[in-house]
Amino acid sequence: MATCNVSVEFWCEFGATELKYKHSIPKTLVTQVGQARPNHAASALFLQWIRPILREHEAACRKAAGARCESCGGLAKDILQSPISYLHAERPFVLVVVSSFCGEEGCEIRTRQEMQDTMAEAGQAGGNNGAKQTQGQDAQSTEGKVCRVCGEMAGARRCSRCLAVAYCSRQHQKEDWKVHKKGCKPKASKEARERSKRRSRGGLTDWKVHKKGCKPKAS
């Protein structure tokens, strides 16, 4: 199979840290500007290709990721890696957004929902603002399109309530429900999520300022 080298760029802590690597990719996944969007078979091949790359660089991503959950502001215990394909752009590359979260189901769901919003905005804007080569092109992501239990894409359908995770069968959905129900909530508006995020982070933000002058009360 013919291959070519492309850049895989990991954005950690809202893009504060970027990790860039070169990887060989099947040429069939690299389309020319203006060509039709990839079909299901191409998306499945992309997922098969990117998974070992995500695992290979997971340790580096954990080290570079933020120390706080991007949803609640608590201590981060895990990361989410969301690959976004720009293999149809003038300069083909793959962007992987690395999000820190505390490990709670609710925070994972909200983080995935926000990632979907980001993808929708990227599509409307014609590409990521930080990558001018993609302007005028639609970004493509596997976020919310693979089974949460087995990782398969074929037949995967999103949870009808939260729309953040997907399952390839009712059996896998049932198996995961005990965990998923803790955080499964209808998608709130972007404004509501921003208000909630500000409230949960407010104490942390205030403390950074307050601690400079915080002293015990004098007698």
Give the per-residue pLDDT at 13.
84
Q: Which residues of the chain have pLDDT under 70?
A: 32-39, 120-139, 188-219
3-state secondary structure (DSSP) of residue 23: strand
Closest CA to 83 of 27, 21, 28: 21
DSSP state of 141: E
- The structure tokens listed for 134 are 């993609």
Give the per-residue pLDDT at 22.
97
Q: What is each CA distance from 178 to 16, 64, 164, 182, in whole angstroms? A: 36, 32, 16, 7
Q: What is each CA distance from 10 to 4, 18, 54, 133, in whole angstroms? A: 19, 6, 9, 17
Give the per-residue pLDDT at 94.
94
Give the per-residue pLDDT at 137.
46
CA 76 to chain centre: 15
**Structural domain boundaries of the chain?**
3-122, 145-187
| Distance in angstroms (rounded) separating the CA atoms of residues 164 and 182 | 14
Q: For the segment 24-67, what is each residue's pLDDT rounded down to a tens digit? A: 999 888 875 555 556 677 888 899 999 999 999 999 999 999 99
